[in-house]
């Protein structure tokens, strides 16, 4: 019978189309799943950034409350405000750092002063001028500290500083002397 030949080819064509459409649907489903995961990840990242920005804006308020608690007699109202603020910020995962005696870490400390101490072999925070804060692993604000430790190595006048003009305090200026052009005043006519 000649009818079975065209039916077989038609059936094979339909199977090929079903397999092709199934593969297309699987591809679209995989793309959609990846899109959903990416959107969820982006939303979490935006949320973390927003929380970090709000917390950074609140850190000066926390500093002001801490200064008030340190310099003013604690009234019940001030104590309630300070405790509530610390509790709420702590509940969000914010931790403070920067204690006297901590090893100096330039990644999370800003050294505002260095005191030479011959009895130390590494830099240590000797005073905390402003606490630092972290949100999880993210640094919200570095701690401002004074450090004590070995004196910095002395510089030899012949080591690579030629052509750099010294400032009055002994530090090198950022521009080499050779790169600066001198201005000449116009000659009177």
Per residue in 102-129, pLDDT tens? 999 999 999 999 998 888 889 999 999 9
Report whether 76 contacts 109 (CB < 8 A). no
**Token code pair at residue 187:** 């000659």
The whole-angstrom separation of Cα 146 and Cα 165 is 28
User: Comparing 3-12, 25-34, 104-113, which segment has the lowest mean pLDDT?
Assistant: 3-12
By percentage, how much of the chain surpasses pLDDT 90? 58
Confidence label for 158 from pLDDT (cuts 50, 70 and 90):
low
Report whether 134 contacts 92 (CB < 8 A). no
Residue 108's nearest CA partner among 142, 136, 140, 137 is: 142
By percentage, how much of the chain surpasses pLDDT 70? 79
Segment 160-179 mean pLDDT: 44
Q: Please, which residues have CB within 8 angstroms of residue 133's CB and are 6 or more apart in sequence? A: 55, 59, 94, 95, 96, 97, 139, 140, 141
User: Comparing 49-53, 85-89, 158-162, 175-179, which segment has the lowest mean pLDDT?
Assistant: 175-179
Torsions phi, psi of 133, nearest 5?
-140, 145
> Any idea what DSSP says for residue 159?
S
C-alpha torsion 59→60→62→67, nearest 10:
140
Residue 175 pLDDT exceeds 70? no
Confidence label for 137 from pLDDT (cuts 50, 70 and 90):
confident
Residue 30 pLDDT exceeds 90? yes
C-alpha torsion 79→82→83→89, nearest 10:
180
Per-residue pLDDT at 176: 41
């Amino acid at each position: 019978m000649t009818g079975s030949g065209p039916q077989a080819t038609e059936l094979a064509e339909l199977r090929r189309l079903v397999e092709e459409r199934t593969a297309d649907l699987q591809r679209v489903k995989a793309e959609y799943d990846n899109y959903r995961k990416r959107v969820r990840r982006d939303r979490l990242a935006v949320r973390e950034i927003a929380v970090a920005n709000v917390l950074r804006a609140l850190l000066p308020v926390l500093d002001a409350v801490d200064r008030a608690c340190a310099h003013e007699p604690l009234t019940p109202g001030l104590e309630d405000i300070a405790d509530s603020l610390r509790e709420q910020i702590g509940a969000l995962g914010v931790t403070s750092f920067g204690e006297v005696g901590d090893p100096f870490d330039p990644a999370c400390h800003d050294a505002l002063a260095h005191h030479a101490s011959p009895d130390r072999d590494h830099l240590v925070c000797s005073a905390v001028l402003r606490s630092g804060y972290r949100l999880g692993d993210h640094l919200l604000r570095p701690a401002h500290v004074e450090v004590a430790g070995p004196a910095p190595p002395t510089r030899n006048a012949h080591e690579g500083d030629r052509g750099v003009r010294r400032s009055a305090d002994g530090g090198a200026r950022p521009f080499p002397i050779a790169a600066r052009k001198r201005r000449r005043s116009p000659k009177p006519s």
